[in-house]
Amino acid sequence: MNALEVSDLSFAYGAREALRKVSFSLEPGRFAALLGPNGAGKSTLIALLTRLYDLQHGEIRVGGNSLRSAARPALKQLGVVFQQSTLDLDLSIEQNLRYHAALHGLSRRQTDLRVDAELARQTLTDRRRERVRELNGGHRRRVEIARALLHEPRLLLLDEASVGLDPASRLALNQHIRSLCREERISVLWTTHLLDEVQPRDDLLILHQGRLVASGQADALSLEHGGDLGSAFTRLTTSGAAQ
Amino acid sequence: MNAYWQCFSGIVLREWLRFVLQRTRFLSALVRPLLWLLVFAAGFRAALGIAIIEPYDTYIPYEVYIIPGLACMILLFNGMQGSLSMVYDREMGSMRVLLTSPLPRTFLLCSKLLATSLISLLQVYAFLAIAWVYGVRPPAMGLLLALPALLLVALMLSALGLLLSNAIRQLENFAGVMNFVIFPLFFLSSALYPLWKMREASEWLYWLCAVNPFTHAVELVRFALYERFNPLALAVCAGLTLLFALLAVLTFNPQHAALRKAS
């Protein structure tokens, strides 16, 4: 069963169309990069995937569960790292994680176990009582990843998660998420506008002017549309390509 | 069921931690009613004598009269401020996290309203404690009986705030809320002056005050503080709380805010 299935998804802000008939799927354990220039519709897609916006047309299924008719099991399988930090800065790392566990209805015992496990995975155990405000950008991101994985989702959604990080932290984050993919068979949807975050074997989705203009394995797409990823991306996202 | 309880207690705990950690916000919320009590009421005392009216058994100084209204003022400001931030960007980040919970959105919103209302009660009781030291001393049993009344009022005002924020585009900033919601609700009520005084001034102003939900909120709390029961005020507040909460939940939709920005 696919970790994520998006079919025929359209969304409009009044008269302005933000997404038009977008369809794609993501297999378990795959890393998919969603590329698109600013205004391509990435944020709208994320808002729909995370139930912030209601579906207008089309369907989203997480682990086979429809977000429209079975939102609860669908959201249980979804972990999210938002573009802008959504941590409570004045609360400690552990308090932030425990709040998230409560939102997912985890029992106290489950919460203790899961918080310990995710803090250990992110090597944050010793800093669990520190306020988030005192952490640097890279560490805050790690807290957000620990939080997103707390309820053991099968699909992890990262919305431009590397924005604002220095190059070393950006690379470390990207590698860390890939290792999760390999070791835990978690599927990852990674939205970005930075081409160097994509690897040849990744699933690649290119969104432009609200339409999915290309999808497939990154190296195959590059070959098909210009030789390297940069020229393929440029060719596919120059104005009018979506027509 | 357990998942719901875990979720609700988690939301309350978060509000509590934020309240404890943001002491300056707590103190500044107390400054407003204290200024009214210590400066405005003291100055007005000479100008305004309060005759014997229910629920009081005797003539009362103005400071005694104004206390329930000021307690409700704290709830009014907190309710509006909290609900506004639930809809617009300031707390959009934390609302996004809240909404990724697999539990129903209605439950999440009601839990959030209840949690912020419970925390507002702490501010009200801190204010009542200072008023006690200042010399305004309702009976101890009244302070206890006022608790459910204050909670109901807090819920009503938070739900009203959320409903208004959902519905009215012009309320995007707090100044708009002050001018068009808080001031009219507060001044056109029995918070600062008894309704019979208002009637002496103007019949239509009196009627505006009489139908203002905030008047019923203040009277519910005033009666409870003096160990009296006001069934009309309770019925109005309970009915409106249900109505406002229902409409607020039905109309809550973050994409409306996005649509407004896009348009």
Average confidence (pLDDT) over B222-228? 94
Instruction: Inspect the interface and report whether the beta carbons of A90 and B18 lie closer than 8 Å.
Output: yes
**Chain A contact set for B4 (CB, 8 A):** 105
For the record, the structure tokens of A184 come out as 């835990």
Out of B14, B108, B254, the one facing A99 most closely (by C-beta) is: B14
Residue A175: CB partners within 8 Å, gap ≥ 6? none
Give the per-residue pLDDT at B260: 60
**Chain B contact set for A158 (CB, 8 A):** none
Give the per-residue pLDDT at B245: 95
Cβ of B161: how many Cβ atoms within 10 Å? 30
Q: To the nearest whole angstrom, how far is the Cα of A225 from the nearest Cα of chain B?
A: 33
Give the per-residue pLDDT at A156: 95
- CA B22 remoteness from chain centre: 20
CA distance A151 to A26: 20
Asked if A115 reaches chain B (Cβ–Cβ under 8 Å), the answer is: no
- CA-nearest residue of chain A to B103? A72
Instruction: Inspect the interface and report whether the beta carbons of A53 and B258 lie closer than 8 Å.
Output: yes
- CA A168 remoteness from chain centre: 20
pLDDT tens string A155-178: 999 998 888 788 888 888 899 899
Q: To the nearest whole angstrom, how far is the Cα of B1 from the nearest Cα of chain A?
A: 9
Selection from A198, A140, A149, A147 nearest residue A169 by Cα: A140
CA distance B82 to A194: 37
Looking at every residue in chain B, the average pLDDT score rounds to 87
- CA-nearest residue of chain B to A104? B101
Give the per-residue pLDDT at A241: 47
pLDDT tens string B164-184: 887 776 556 667 777 788 899
Give the per-residue pLDDT at B111: 95
- Res B256 pLDDT > 80: no
Average confidence (pLDDT) over A23-38? 92
For the record, the structure tokens of A22 come out as 């977008």
Average confidence (pLDDT) over A235-241? 69
Residue in this structure with the two tokens 């970790």, named with its chain if needed: A3
Give the per-residue pLDDT at A239: 54
In this complex, how many residue pairs, one in chain A and one in chain B, have their CB atoms less than 8 Å apart?
101
- Res B238 pLDDT > 70: yes
Q: To the nearest whole angstrom, how far is the Cα of A226 from the nearest Cα of chain B?
A: 35
**Chain A contact set for B16 (CB, 8 A):** none
Instruction: Inspect the interface and report whether the beta carbons of B254 and A84 lie closer than 8 Å.
Output: no
Asked if B11 reaches chain A (Cβ–Cβ under 8 Å), the answer is: yes
CA distance A195 to A36: 10
Instruction: Inspect the interface and report whether the beta carbons of A14 and B263 lie closer than 8 Å.
Output: yes
CA distance A190 to A33: 5
For chain A, give the DSSP string. Answer: --SEEEEEEEEEETTEEEEEEEEEEE-TT-EEEEE--TTSSHHHHHHHHTTSSPP-EEEEEETTEETTT-HHHHHHTEEEE-SS--S-TTSBHHHHHHHHHHHTT--HHHHHHHHHHHHHHTT-GGGTTSBGGGS-HHHHHHHHHHHHHTT--SEEEEESTTTT--HHHHHHHHHHHHHHHHHH--EEEEEES-GGG--TTSEEEEEETTEEEEEEEHHHHHHHTTSSHHHHHHHHHSTTTT-
Instruction: Inspect the interface and report whether the beta carbons of B263 and A103 lie closer than 8 Å.
Output: no
- CA-nearest residue of chain B to A98? B10
Q: To the nearest whole angstrom, how far is the Cα of A86 from the nearest Cα of chain B?
A: 5
Give the per-residue pLDDT at A109: 94
Average confidence (pLDDT) over B72-79? 92
Give the per-residue pLDDT at B47: 64
Q: Are A68 and A18 in contact (CB under 8 A)?
A: no
Instruction: Inspect the interface and report whether the beta carbons of A82 and B93 lie closer than 8 Å.
Output: yes
Q: To the nearest whole angstrom, how far is the Cα of A199 from the nearest Cα of chain B?
A: 29
Name the residue with higher pLDDT: B40 or B111. Answer: B111
Q: Are A63 and A28 in contact (CB under 8 A)?
A: no
Average confidence (pLDDT) over B142-171? 88
Selection from A150, A73, A153 nearest residue A106 by Cα: A150
Residue in this structure with the two tokens 């302070």, named with its chain if needed: B143
- Res B45 pLDDT > 80: no
- Res A242 pLDDT > 50: no
pLDDT tens string A46-60: 989 988 888 999 999
Percentage of the residues of chain B whose pLDDT score is greater than 70: 90
Residue in this structure with the two tokens 């989203």, named with its chain if needed: A60
Task: Give the pLDDT band of residue B24 (cuts 50, 70, 90).
Answer: confident
Give the per-residue pLDDT at A243: 41
Average confidence (pLDDT) over B18-42? 84
Selection from B117, B112, B92, B86 nearest residue B14 by Cα: B112
